[in-house]
Chain A
Amino acid sequence: MDTLVFLVAAGLARGSVLALFAISLVIVWRAARVVNFAQAAMAVVGVYAGFALTAATGSYWLGVAGAVLTGALLGVLAERGPLRLVPRDNPLPGMIVAIGLVMVLQAGLAIAFGAAHRPVPAPFPQRPLSLGGVPVLSPYDLFTLATAAVVMAGLAWMFGRTSLGLQLRAAAFAPETSRLLGVRVGRMVTIGWAVSVAVAALAGLLLVPTELGLSPHAADILFVQAFAVAVIGGLDSPPGALLAGLGVGILTSLVTGYVTAAAAPLAVLGLLTAVLLVRPAGLFAAREARTA
């Protein structure tokens, strides 16, 4: 029982990071109808920047700000640069350009900083606190959960309650009509990218202290699992990404604890396959127009 409580709690912490990263993928998919395969590489660039800033100034919070701003800047650069030139009629070229970006960014990072893992200290202790004699969550896990909750609430508020959010949703949903109504669609797409990559960089920053350390490939597994999460949730749906993220986080934690860590990717693959076979567009996707 103690083990179960501990594993579920650890899964929740990991799941919140997964959900955050998955939501960043959902944001860019909604804004630009592109699956950004370079999200992990771009996030890691942001984490490197934050790490360097923390090392230079000694302040973790400046590092966080640096990572998020670098992420936003990268999002703008990617969207204004190569991805704006991609033909819009089918999703394939966008995906391929993003794959090219992954290679450029990861190889560039490895050339600039070396491929070795750099240890990254957590800003809070990582020893689990006990709750009634049961070790549950560490202060760092609590920080992760709280940050993820605050950011998601902030995103929900921005998309649902502000004029900017309304314009972002309108531009994503009906670009032509929005343009006629005075929404600057191009700018909205750019903002979508900036928000998305900034959130991804934050998720990467939260993840890195719990893993081996910072390397150009530090967020690869996070990306693949978050992509699976976003697909399970339905790519279009932030609540779907949140629920699927927590679910996948708990699932991998349970499999790691009760079976073996090596089986966790297989469990994710199995869940993904099962969900897609029952609902090919994910659990919470909007209805498609009928095709025949």
Chain B
Amino acid sequence: MSTTTFPSPPSTAPPLPPNGSGAKVAGTRPRPGGHGQSGVWVGIFAITMSFAAFTSALFVRQGSGDWIHVVVPRLLYVNTAVLLLSSITLEMARRAFMNSSALDSGALRNNTLRWLGITLVFGFAFVVGQYMVWRQLAAQGLYLATNSNSSFLYVLTAAHALHVLGGITGLVRLSARLTPRQITLRSSSFANTAIYWHFMGVLWIYLLLVISIRL
């Protein structure tokens, strides 16, 4: 397809600012304000709306009168502790990354990766732990369709676990950007991933409250 393009009017735009000003870690581009931040909060809002929909379905369904209280396995509380710990270790990782007094980028990288690794282990442990909770429920005879409580228990925990897996993907991507050759990770990317991960913990606390009080 051939088109004729016409010259655009002269732009009065100022030139781009020079690179390298205020860079915290070698090789990263300066990002004033961290533009990804709106994105992660918008995403968090959308996920909150989804779980609000699940919660309101739960309240409506509870009105049917066939509500049989479910005794949740204690493992659920252990998993909670694991997830909250992972938030702490992720924050340690983020501080190690932001530690601009680390003159040696190798040390910075090692520290960060160590804490990220621990966080990932806790994250995986949480998801595996949730799976074990489902096995324990099944052993009690509580499956997805057994009664309405068990349905919601499975749906809420599964939906949360899926989102945690997404967070794990984000953490793996962070780790991958901390290669020996060059750190290509922006501090805002780290912060945004961390915000999402902490949200997983906050969301879980909310779900745990709903599960223990309402189910």
- A and B bind: no
